[in-house]
Amino acid sequence: MSCRVSKGPLPGYRRCVGIMLLDPANRVFVGQRHDTRAEAWQMPQGGIDKGENALDAARRELLEEVGTNRADFLKESTLWRSYDLPPDIARRLWRGRYLGQTQKWLAFRYRGEDADIMLDGEHPEFCAWRWLAPDELVDRIVPFKRDVYLSVVEEFRCLWA
- Domain positions in the chain are 4-159
Q: Is the pLDDT of residue 153 over 70?
A: yes
Q: Is the pLDDT of residue 65 over 70?
A: yes
Q: What beta strand segments (E) does 38-124 contain? A: 41-42, 45-47, 71-84, 100-110
Q: What is the pTM of this model?
A: 0.94
Q: Is the pLDDT of residue 38 over 80?
A: no
pLDDT of 126-152, one tens digit each? 999 999 999 999 888 888 899 999 999
- pLDDT computed for residue 39 by the predictor: 76
CA neighbor of 38 nearest in space, from 112, 116, 142, 108:
142
Contact between 101 and 83 under an 8 Å Cβ cutoff? The reply is yes
Question: What is the arithmetic mean of pLDDT over 15-42?
Answer: 90
Q: Is the pLDDT of residue 58 over 70?
A: yes
Contact between 143 and 154 under an 8 Å Cβ cutoff? The reply is no
Distance between the two ends of the chain, CA-based, in angstroms?
28
The CATH T-level fold of domain 4-159 is Nucleoside Triphosphate Pyrophosphohydrolase (3.90.79)
- pLDDT computed for residue 63 by the predictor: 95
In the chain, the amino acid numbered 68 is T
Neighbours of 44 (CB within 10 A): 22
In the chain, the amino acid numbered 2 is S
